[in-house]
Chains A and B, each alone.
Chain A
Amino acid sequence: MLTKRIIPCLDVINRRVTKGVKFQNNIDLGDPIEMAVRYSNEGCDELVVYDITASAERRPIDIGMVRDVAQAIRIPFAVGGGIACVEDMSRVLLAGAEKISVNSLAVKNPGIIAEGARAFGAQCIVLGMDPVATPDRRRCPSGYEITTRGFRERTGMDAVEWAEKAERLGAGEIVVNSVDADGTRAGFELTITRLIAEAVRIPVVASGGAGCPAHLRDAFNIAHADAAIVAGMIHTGEFTIAQIKRELHAAGVPVRMIW
């Protein structure tokens, strides 16, 4: 049986992993390579590394860091932030990443999804999206609107329609990162995660809000996510990957066990 993936997220600023709430009040958590190795050894199934200030600083992604991660771990990882074109994608993949995550760039230029999928295969192209709940059902029938640039800008785009469009364009996976849940550690936003998992035929990753193993269980069992991103709950040392997997296993969720 295909197992549910647990994916630690490393938000990197100047080669240091940081964690903030709603992209603010960032604190230093450690070296990205050391953390990637530790989580990989603990049994995480994949990793995602975001160069979170690359776009804002209008500089390309830190390829040296991507290369170092690729040499240090032997599991797949995705990279996001600072990707502006197909050439950037190519550089990241050749450095050893498995997938590229695009978010604001794809909203501005949806064609980048198709270009990337044509050039490297759909399995390489991850659409990251930051939906926020909205009462404006006329503009956003699903009740969720896409935001960009680290939640700073609203787009008026409906989250489910955007997911369907991204799938048609060739995205291989969608990460649903709820603005409302991000950093709260109060649980994933199950409603929008499930709406998107129901709408597309590609894998969906729940993101934002993981605080304990039961939150992941709900993302898998209630929202039908194929994978879930964890950050704060493991970065603080409160939980280990092994602990999360043991609890999920006990709850009947198929997970990869490496102990």
Chain B
Amino acid sequence: MIAIVDYKAGNLTSVRLAFRTLGCTAEVTSDPQAILAADRVVFPGVGAAGSAMRNLADLHLTPVLKEVAARGTPFLGICLGTQILFDFSEEDGGTPTLGILPGSVPRFQPQDRWDKVPQMGWNQVKVVRPHPLLDGIEDGSEFYFVHSYYPSPTDAALTIGATGYAGVTFASMVGRGNVAATQFHPEKSGRIGLRLLANFVTWSGKVVGIGNAEGTLE
């Protein structure tokens, strides 16, 4: 079973529908036991880091997510879910976050009047290192983004995909071992996004091959 973690951070309908399109059973749940028992965990989210962290605490999910990430369950962060996997977000006056991945989450600083924040729309993801979730996906494919903050890992080896916006090249897909996470929305990224989710559904949680991030299971 795939657990889609519901922590009152946005609308999970499209994540659920995307897995349904793939013929998979995915349960939207806030129940710690269901999440711990799941074969795979999807950690989505839209909204602000501060309220997201408060909701996780209220639902007693903070230790659950850390345990799932630590014990090798295939884990996919999406958008806000990805951002709060890091140590710290600049959002809401600065918010300490889960610390599952090393790094921070700064805000875009527009370089000219045409750099709109949030970034909203389809942007290219350049493959920095191969990953099982990108199997069959062409380098430079476009995915759908909606965000004002972006992942900035302290360990460059975490970066799987990179994207340019508002004068920065940021880590649009990151991962270590069984944890993979996208700033973009695979569930809203058409056929290519579905391919990434289909790859997740069959992923062992292991990354084999050269160029792995530190801490990768072999």
Contacts and interface: CB of A to CB of B under 8 A. Distances in A.
A121 B189 contact: no
Contacts of A173: 120
A3 to B, nearest CB: 5
A74 B46 contact: no
B53 to A, nearest CB: 16
A181 to B, nearest CB: 22
Given A71-B17, A121-B10, A2 B47 contact: no
- Contact size range, B: 35 or more
Interface residues of A, number: 35
B74 interface: no
Interface string A127-149: 00000000000000000000000
A201 B123 CA distance: 19
B121 A203 contact: yes
Interface in A7-46: 40, 45-46
A227 interface: yes
Contact of B190 (A71, A75, A124, A226): A75
Nearest to A5: B121
Given A74-B190, A75-B188, A2 B122 contact: yes
B10 A74 contact: no
Interface string A189-209: 000000001100111000000
Contacts of B165: 2
A156 interface: no
Interface string B187-215: 11111011000000000000000000000
Interface string B3-25: 00000001101100110110000
B121 A227 contact: yes
Contacts of B118: 122-123, 172, 202-203
A95 interface: yes
Is the contact region of chain A dominated by helix, strand, or loop, or is it mixed? loop
Contact of B193 (A74, A202, A226): A74
Contacts of A182: none
Interface in B115-153: 116-124, 142, 144-146
Contacts of A95: 13
B145 to A, nearest CB: 8
Interface string B153-176: 000000000001100000000000
Contacts of B116: 201-203, 226
A71 B18 CA distance: 8
A96 B113 CA distance: 32
Contact of A120 (B11, B14, B144): B11
Contact of A70 (B17, B119, B185, B191): B17
Contacts of A56: none
A246 interface: no
A123 B144 contact: no
Contacts of B117: 201-202
The 3 closest A-B pairs by CB, nearest first: A96-B13, A256-B142, A256-B122
19 contacts: A1-B123, A2-B122, A3-B123, A3-B142, A4-B121, A45-B122, A45-B144, A75-B144, A75-B188, A94-B13, A95-B13, A122-B118, A123-B46, A124-B11, A172-B118, A201-B110, A201-B113, A226-B116, A256-B142
